């Protein structure tokens, strides 16, 4: 197949010729442990994204959400994330068994900046830890523990450009297929949209925790 693009950046030297070097402040903002600033951010965050990769280098990003503070900071180098009920694909867990490196992106609704955390992950079942993560009396079967290697705050420009927290700028969803429609198309399900949507609604109602 002939190359689709004519000008491809292939080295960091070429990249820096276009972008230039980062400021010293941008380099120095990375810390190797969670200080009070990072802890306060994590305590207020109800949502994060987890990036992981398998042994073949195939990437995955998984969203996690719960009441603010659901991610526990065990100490300055360790955080624990509860695993709630899902579809049992366990993409993140399977990846971690092959490559433990993960990246976390913490978000707080209405806050423009985000917190990025990187480190190595473990899948644990320690009862005391899991019991401390119970919601509505439901204890998670597993917890993801991340041994923090770096953390840094990410600037707000992407949030400002996207108007992510400004409902008046949100796009119309009329032309966007529903989850049921997409599920039928991708999984080749021989059911109606109404039937699949009812199953989704039931799962959300009965298997949230």
Q: Tell me how crowded residue 155 is: count the other CB atoms within 10 A of its CB.
A: 12
Tell whether the model's pLDDT for residue 1 goes beyond 80. no
35-41 CB contacts, 8 Å cutoff, 24+ apart? 35/76, 37/153, 38/73, 38/115, 38/117, 38/151, 39/73, 41/106, 41/108, 41/115, 41/153
Sign of the CA dihedral 84, 88, 91, 92? Answer: positive
Sign of the CA dihedral 59, 117, 98, 95? Answer: negative
What token pair was written down for 105? 């992106």
Cβ atoms of 138 and 90 closer than 8 Å: no
pLDDT in tens, 20-79: 999 999 999 999 999 999 999 999 999 999 999 999 999 999 999 999 999 999 999 999
Residue 138 DSSP label: B
User: How does the average pLDDT of the chain come out, rounded?
Assistant: 97
All domains in the chain, ordered by first residue: 20-162 (2.30.110.10), 171-206 (no CATH)
Read off φ and ψ for residue 51, nearest 5 degrees: -100, 135
């Amino acid at each position: 197949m002939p190359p689709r693009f004519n000008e491809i950046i292939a080295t960091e030297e070429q990249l820096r010729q276009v972008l230039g070097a980062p400021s010293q402040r941008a380099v120095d903002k990375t810390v190797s442990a969670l200080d009070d600033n990072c802890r306060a951010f994590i305590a207020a965050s109800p949502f994060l994204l987890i990036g992981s990769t398998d042994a073949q280098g195939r990437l995955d990003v998984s969203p996690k959400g719960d009441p603010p503070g659901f991610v526990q900071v065990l100490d300055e180098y360790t955080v624990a994330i509860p695993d709630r009920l899902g579809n049992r694909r366990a993409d993140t867990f399977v990846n971690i068994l092959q490559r433990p490196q993960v990246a976390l992106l913490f978000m707080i609704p209405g806050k423009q900046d985000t917190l990025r955390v990187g480190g190595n992950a473990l899948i644990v079942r320690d009862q005391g830890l899991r019991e401390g993560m119970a919601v509505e009396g439901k204890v998670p079967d597993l917890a993801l523990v991340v041994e923090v290697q770096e953390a840094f705050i990410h600037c707000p420009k992407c949030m400002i450009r996207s108007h992510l927290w400004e409902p008046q700028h949100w796009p119309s969803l009329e032309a966007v297929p529903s989850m049921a429609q997409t599920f039928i198309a991708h999984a080749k399900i021989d059911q109606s949209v109404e039937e699949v949507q009812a199953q989704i609604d039931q799962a959300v109602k009965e298997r949230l925790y």
